[in-house]
Structure 1
Amino acid sequence: MQIHDLPYLDPGDPDVRSGTHLLWWLGRQQSVGQLKGFGWALVNQLGVAALPLGVGLAVQAVVDGSGSRLAYTSGLILLLGVIIALGDTMVHRATITNWTTAAARIQQLLSRKTAELGSLLTRRVAAGEVVAISTADAEKLGWFVEALSRFAAAAITLVVVGAGLILYQPALGIVVAIGLPVLALAVLPLLPIATRRADHQRDKAGYATELAADTVAGLRVLRGIGGEDLFLSRYRKASQDVRGASVRSASMWALISAIQVLLPGALMLTVVAYGAKLALDGRIAIGELVTVYSAILLTAHPLRNFTEMAMAYSYSQPSAERTVRVLSLHRGSDVGDTPANGTTGPTPSEHQLTGDLFDPVTGLLAVEGLLTAVVCGDPDIAGALAERLGGHPTHQDAPAASVRLGGVPLDERPLMDVRATVLVQDKEPVLLSGTLRELLDVPSSGQVSAAAALDAAQCADALTALAQANADGGDDPMESQITERGRSLSGGQRQRLALARSLVADPEVLILDEPTSAVDSHTESRVAAGIRHLRNRRTTVVFASSPLLLDLADQVVLVDEGRAVARGTHRELLHGEPRYRAVVTRETQDEIEQRLAAMGTAGFAKAPRVERAGGPDGPMDTTRQSAPNGRDGGNGGNEESA
């Protein structure tokens, strides 16, 4: 695999049993590149290891006064220089290729997982963590992969050098053979400590960066409440923590570097002192002493690969564990996207993604083509339920508990089909920077124009604000620029622009989580009417507690303690369901008890019938009484608020 061949057509199926398994899987995937790197590294390092032999022969030739041997050894040194240069060039090329392609493989795997999980990913792993894995951690994994081949070549080179010196000059060779393993393994006990300190520094730096970003994002609010000094002191403390962690990490690496200089120097002094004594005694020649001395001097090159390999593994192991946590996530349950019966699910031709939307966990049923409002007393439960309805189950959900559309579990359908059919708008949607035209340029049915969606979402004031903030946008409001995350707009304006984007998409099923929570009642009434108009005969689920929205819904479902407990129109539930009334009207428990006491049994006998859940394993009874205006299940266009 060459760099110009990237990206991979298929990055493969990673071994995510552990970080170590992922590292070795990644190494095996780069086997061809590893062999190239190993071969050229061996050529380079053996050439360096052979250089002292030529130098020693040349020195001995000078001592002996042999011009022919000096010329011969000079040619040998020149040849070794060419081999070393060629090997160094090619091993660098192989190293960069292995590093880049391994990191690219990890990034492709992460991109594929991100596309598979969608917004579910950021609910399980922080978005900043995913970015860190795809950048810094991917590079560390690539570093480990490329270091493997050079480490193997260095190990073979040291064995060859030690054996060669024993054969060449046994007296000094034994000393070197004993010292080399000590040099190679001396810093290993310190590496875990250095790695822990480096990880601690990374965590501190990440927190400081996050704190700085939050402060900048909320600077206008901080100035309004006078909180600049408080956040400045927090950032100053976080910055000092980063400095302290950096100093502790650097001190450990400084100690490791000192040991790498001290021990080879001690070995060299030992060999020189012992070799000088042997030379004075006449037991070895001067050229042999120079050869052994030079060999020890040049062993620092392969020894650095031992230390680098230990560092690469120590650094990449935590990175691999973090990567495995992301790559092992699944859209459905912990066992993956495969249904419980082992089948691959129906093909698009077998079942179309239409029909009623049913959640077996809560018993919530949204009838096809109707506007269903869901009232839930707990906003957290409402948000989680909205995500479930959009095909984003939590990791605790079993495959059999998947939301069903038209009787088909969403987990059994291709992800692209689900995303094209069901759209979820969060309570706090994100606006990307760019022009308004680019914001509304989303995959859509083509049945709803941008102008109609903006009008339905009551975005006139947002368009005016954008035009005023972008003097170069011209007369076309669609060319108005939206700043990052729409920070120049109010919360209500951002919310309505996001709603317009969802309405333009015009999906088969649209799920809105509190789409009007940041607007005033007058605007909310018109937005509710706009949603009702544009989503006519389209399945729409709105999580809300506002009577203005609830009164326009075809049906309203009350979810209490994680279960759909009642269904009917807004007015029916308001008069016949105390729990519903408590959520919508904000009645206290005492007020509810007083109302119940005042109404008595006779009062409830005259109240409209409210449908209850049929049982824990099935949806509520879908038979409804006719509404007063003659429509089935709702008051239709009646815009009167309760």
Structure 2
Amino acid sequence: MQIQDLPYPDPGVPDARSGARFLWWLGRNQLGGQLKALVWGLLHFVAVSALPFCVGFAVQGVVDRSGGRLALAGGLLALCGAASAVGDTFLHRAAVTNWITAAARVQQLLAHKAARLGSALTRRVAAGEVVAVSTGDVEKIGWFVEAVSRFTAAALTVGVVCAGLVVYQPALGVIVAVGLPVVALAVLPLLPHATRRADTQREKGGRATELASDTVAGLRVLRGIGGEELFLDRYRRASQEVRRAAVHSARMWSLIASLQVLLPGLLLIAVVFYGVRLAREGRISVGELVTVYSSVAVLSYPLQHFQEIAMAYSFSRPSAQRAARVLSLERHPSEAKTAQTGSTEAGEVKGGDLYDPATGLLAPEGLLTAVVCGDPDAAGRLAERLGGHASEAGPSVLLGGVALDGLPLDAARAAVLVQDKDPVLLSGSLRDLLDVPSSGAVAAADALAAAGCEDVLDTLVQGSLEGADPLDAHITERGRSLSGGQRQRLALARSLLTDPQVLVLDEPTSAVDSHTEARIAEGVRALRNGRTTVVFTSSPLLLDRADRVVLVHDGQVAAVGVHRELLDTEPRYRAVVTRETEPETVAASEKEPRPGDGPGAEGEPRPDEGPRAGRNGLAGPRKIDELAHIDELREIGETA
């Protein structure tokens, strides 16, 4: 694999059982690149290590006053220098290619895993850890993969040189052959300590990254409550912990580096001391002494790669463990779940009712079903279940009698689209935002109109520098230049444009005013006519537009009907929709109003009833007045 061939058509199935197994799997999948780097590395290191033999041969030629031998030594030096340069150049090229292709493979694997898990990923892994894995950890994993071939070439070169010295000059060669392994392995007892310190640094760095990402994401809220200084102090403390951990780790690595300089120096002194004695006794020639001395001096260069591979492994091992932990996450906690729920050979669903066996929720085909749930978190989990994104064990949601868990992921997502209560808008133009896979049956203009985006388009045109076309207007990261209601409506338009078989909306109008909500309710109903739509809401305006309303209480369907019928007959439903307190609900159920009773009768406000909390926690109109104005707001929406 070359850099120009990226991305991989298929990055493969990783061995994510552990960090070490994941690194081994990466190495095996890049065996061709590793062998290429190894060959060039051997050429480079062997050429460098052969230079001392050429120098010793030249020195001996001078001593013997042999011009022919000196000329031959010069030619050998030129040949070794050229081989070293060529080997070094192509070694660097091959090693960097291994680094980049390994990092690209890991990033593709992470991207595929994130696409498969969807919103479940950030519930099971902290967002800061995902960011750390996809950025810094990927780079360190690539570093280790790149360093393996250089280390292997260096180790083989050291072995060849030691064997050559033993043959060339046994008296000194034995000392070198025994001393070099000791020098190379002397730092091994320090590596566990260095690794633990590196792990601590990485852990603290991950926490600091997570804190920073959470702070940036909530900066607007923090400024609103005056809490930015508090979080800034927290980040300062976290960053100082990272700094201290980094210094603590660097001290150990500096000790290892100093030993890598000190021990070869001591070996060199021992070789020179003993070699001088042998030369004085006439047991070796001057050229042989120079050759052995130069060989030991030059071998300090390949020995540096022993330290590099130790550092690369120490830093990449925790990174590989984190990557393996993310890549080991599965869509379902047990493999038997799919077998229990069944599957389909066709890989697609033609249509049908949407049914959740866990709660008993049924959304008939072609109808607008509203779901009322008193617990917003439970509503969000149920919405994800309906889209096949559930992470907990349990029976699968059925669409047309087919288990969504048994479908291929692409088919399941094409059949059911879930828009959560906090949708994300990516940066780019509005045209890019609406460039999504769709059936083609819904035009962008119709989707924008149904979502009530007229004023949003005007705002985008006014703030755009690209011209009068709102589709060319630029949307900033996560839509931060827009209000919450504007972001919500654009996300709703994007979901309507896709025109899936089943559309699940979780509180799609929680950030808009009542008049806009009335228009959206009418627009969604008209645009999704004949298509299955499920809306999680407690808004009377949306509930009154639904063909079918389902109350989910304590994880089970408690009542089914239409909005006005459930208001009259189901106290739990009325408590959620009208935001009654528990005493009010009990009192209302104990004393049913009778026609003709005057004040307090159905449709008439009580004289002593004061303001109540609205849907956003603010003082609002009386509950009966709010319900009585539904028809008025409907007329406003139709007129608009």
Answer whether contact 1:359 1:389 (CA < 8 A) is retained. yes
Partner of 2:609: none
In 2, Cα distance between the equivalents of 1:567 and 1:638?
Answer: 25
1:565 correspondence with 2:558: yes
Q: Which residue of 2 aligns with 1:339?
A: 338
From the superposition, tell whether residues 11 and 486 of structure 1 become closer, same or farther in structure 2 (CA, over 3 Å): closer
1:354 to partner: Cα distance = 0.8
Please tell me whether residue 489 in structure 1 is matched to residue 482 in structure 2: yes
> Is residue 2:570 matched to residue 1:591?
no
Task: Please report how far the alpha carbon of residue 212 of structure 1 lies from its aligned counterpart in structure 2 after TM superposition.
Answer: 4.5
Tell me the secondary structure at the aligned position of residue 428 of structure 1. Answer: coil
> In structure 2, what is the Cα distance between the partners aligned to 1:165 and 1:84?
20
Secondary structure of the residue aligned to 2:305 is helix
* Residue 208 to residue 132, structure 1, CA distance change in 2 (3 Å): closer
Q: 1:461 to 1:149 in 2, by over 3 A?
A: same
Would you say 1:116 and 2:116 are equivalent positions? Answer: yes
Q: CA deviation at 1:550?
A: 1.6
Q: Does 1:532 align with 2:525?
A: yes
What is the distance in 2 between the residues matched to 1:361 and 1:295?
A: 74
Partner of 1:263 in structure 2? 263
Q: 2:165 is matched with which residue?
A: 165
Q: What is the CA–CA distance in structure 1 between the aligned matches of 2:219 and 2:110, rounded to whole Å?
A: 33
- The letter for the 1-side match of 2:339 is A
Question: How far did 1:133 drift?
Answer: 2.6
Q: Residue type of the partner of 2:496?
A: L
Distance in 1 of aligned mates of 2:520 and 2:127 = 32
Equivalent positions of 1:27-106 (< 5 A) are 27-106=27-106
Rounded Cα–Cα distance in structure 2 between residues aligned with 1:281 and 1:83: 37
Q: What letter corresponds to residue 370 of structure 1 in structure 2?
A: L
Amino acid at match of 1:580: Y
- Who is 1:381 aligned against? 378
Unaligned runs of 5+ in 2: 594-629
Q: What's 2:354 paired with?
A: 357
Per-residue deviation, 1:182: 1.6
Deviates more, 1:319-328 or 1:374-383: 319-328
Distance 1:344 1:388 in 2: 17
TM-score by length of 2: 0.87
Cα distance in structure 2, aligned partners of 1:548 and 1:299: 81
- Within the alignment, does 1:410 sit opposite 2:409 as a pair? no
Aligned CA distance change for structure 1 residues 482 and 88 (closer, same or farther; 3 Å): closer
Task: Say whether the 8 Å CA contact 1:551–1:640 is kept in structure 2.
Answer: no
Aligned residues: 600
Structure 1 equivalent of residue 606 of structure 2:
none
The structure-2 alpha-carbon separation of the partners of 1:244 and 1:66, relative to structure 1 and needing over 3 Å to count, comes to same
Shift of 1:510: 0.7
Aligned pairs (5 A) from 1:545-564: 545-564=538-557
User: SS state of the match for residue 358, structure 1?
Assistant: strand
Change (3 A) 1:468 1:238: farther
Question: In structure 2, what is the equivalent of residue 616 of structure 1?
Answer: none
Cα distance, 1:216 vs structure 2 = 4.9
Give the superposed CA RMSD.
2.8
Choose 404-413 or 135-144, whichever is displaced more: 135-144
After TM superposition, the structure 1 = structure 2 runs for residues 314-333 of structure 1, keeping only pairs within 5 Å, are 314-333=314-333
Is 521-530 or 339-348 further displaced after alignment? Answer: 339-348
Is the 8 Å Cα contact of residues 38 and 152 (structure 2) preserved in structure 1?
yes
In the TM superposition, what whole-angstrom CA distance separates every residue of 1:210-258 from its partner, at most 9, and x where no partner exists?
A: 5445555555544444334333333333333333233223222222211
Retained in 2: the 8 A contact 1:551–1:639? no
Cα distance in 2 for partners of 1:29, 1:438 equals: 36
Is 1:515 aligned with 2:514?
no
Give the 3 Å change call, closer, same or farther, for CA 508–144 of structure 1 in structure 2.
same
Output the amino acid matched with 1:121: L
Q: Is the partner of 2:390 in helix, strand or coil? A: coil
Residues 402 and 409 in structure 1, CA contact (< 8 A), matched pair in contact too: yes
Task: Answer whether contact 1:513 1:543 (CA < 8 A) is retained.
Answer: yes
1:249 equivalent in structure 2: 249
Q: Which residue is equivalent to 1:623?
A: none
Answer whether contact 2:343 2:403 (CA < 8 A) is retained.
Answer: no
Residue in structure 2 matched with residue 290 of structure 1 by the alignment: 290
The 5 A counterparts of 1:126-141 are 126-141=126-141
Quick check: 1:397 aligned with 2:393?
A: yes
* One-letter amino acid matched to 2:329: L
Conserved? CA contact 2:448–2:493, under 8 Å:
yes
The code of the aligned residue for 1:46 comes to: V
Shift of 1:295: 1.1
1:639 Cα deviation (Å)?
A: 4.8
Distance 2:12 2:463 in 1: 48
Give the Cα separation in 2 of the matches to 1:487 and 1:342: 42
Aligned-pair distance for 1:357? 0.5
- DSSP-derived class of the 2:338 partner: coil
Are the aligned partners of 2:341 and 2:406 in contact in 1 as well (CA < 8 Å)?
A: no
Cα distance change, pair 127–566 in 1 and its aligned pair in 2 (3 A): same
Are the counterparts in 2 of residues 22 and 320 from structure 1 also a CA contact under 8 Å? yes
Change (3 A) 1:251 1:3: same
Letter in 1 for 2:495: S
Q: Secondary structure at the match of 1:141?
A: helix
Q: Residues 93, 434 of structure 1: CA spacing in aligned structure 2 closer, same or farther, 3 A cutoff?
A: closer
Shift of 1:278: 2.5
Do the aligned partners of residues 275 and 14 (structure 1) sit closer, same or farther apart at CA in structure 2, a change above 3 Å counting? same
Residue 154 of structure 2 corresponds to residue 154 of structure 1? yes
Query: Is contact 2:342–2:403 with CA below 8 Å preserved after alignment?
Result: no
C-alpha distance in structure 2 between counterparts of 1:121 and 1:384, whole Å: 14
Post-superposition CA distance 1:356-415 (Å, at most 9, x none): 001122221111111111111211111111111112121x325xx221110111122232
Aligned match for 1:432, one of 419, 426, 437: 426
- Counterpart Cα distance in 2 of 1:208 and 1:469: 36
Distance 1:436 1:73, change over 3 A: closer
TM-fit CA distance, 1:511: 0.5
Q: Secondary structure at the match of 2:551?
A: strand
SS of the counterpart of 1:392?
coil
SS in 2 for 1:537: coil
Q: What is the rounded CA distance, in whole Å, between the counterparts of 1:129 and 1:353 in structure 2?
A: 39
Instruction: Provide the rounded CA distance (Å) in 2 between the counterparts of 1:236 and 1:202.
Output: 17
Q: Which residue of 2 aligns with 1:615?
A: none
Letter in 2 for 1:508: Q
- Of all paired residues, the percent bearing the same amino acid is 65
Distance in structure 2 (CA, Å) of the matches to 1:19 and 1:167? 42
Tell me the equivalent position of 1:603.
Answer: none
1:238 corresponds to 2:256: no
Q: Give the unaligned 5+ runs of structure 1.
A: 601-634
Does the C-alpha gap of structure 1 residues 480 and 83 become closer, same or farther in structure 2, counting only changes over 3 Å? closer
1:347 is aligned with what amino acid?
A
CA distance 1:519–1:342, shift in 2 (3 Å): closer
Flag the 1:448–1:306 CA change in 2: closer, same or farther, 3 A: same
Change beyond 3 A, Cα 1:73–1:100: same
| SS of equivalent residue, structure 2 residue 481 | coil
Q: Report the residue type matching 2:381 in the other structure.
A: A
Partners of 2:305 and 2:482 lie apart in 1 by 55
Match of 2:339, SS state, is coil
Shift of 1:290: 1.3
Displacement of 1:117 in angstroms is 2.8
Q: Which amino acid aligns with 1:34?
A: Q
> Which secondary structure state, in structure 2, belongs to the residue aligned with residue 375 of structure 1?
strand
Residue-by-residue CA offset, 1:118-142 (whole Å, 9 max, x unaligned)? 3333333344433433333233223
Distance 2:417 2:506 in 1: 11
CA contact (8 A) 2:343 2:405 kept: no
1:178-212 per-residue CA deviation (whole Å, 9 max, x = no partner) reads 21112111222333333333343344444445544
Matched, 1:372 2:369: yes
| Contact 2:257–2:307 under 8 Å retained in 1 | no
Match for residue 500 of structure 1 among 464, 476, 493: 493
Deviations 1:82-124 (A, max 9, x none): 2222322232222122222222222222233233333333333
Residue 342 of structure 2 contacts residue 402 of structure 2 at CA under 8 Å; is this kept in 1? no
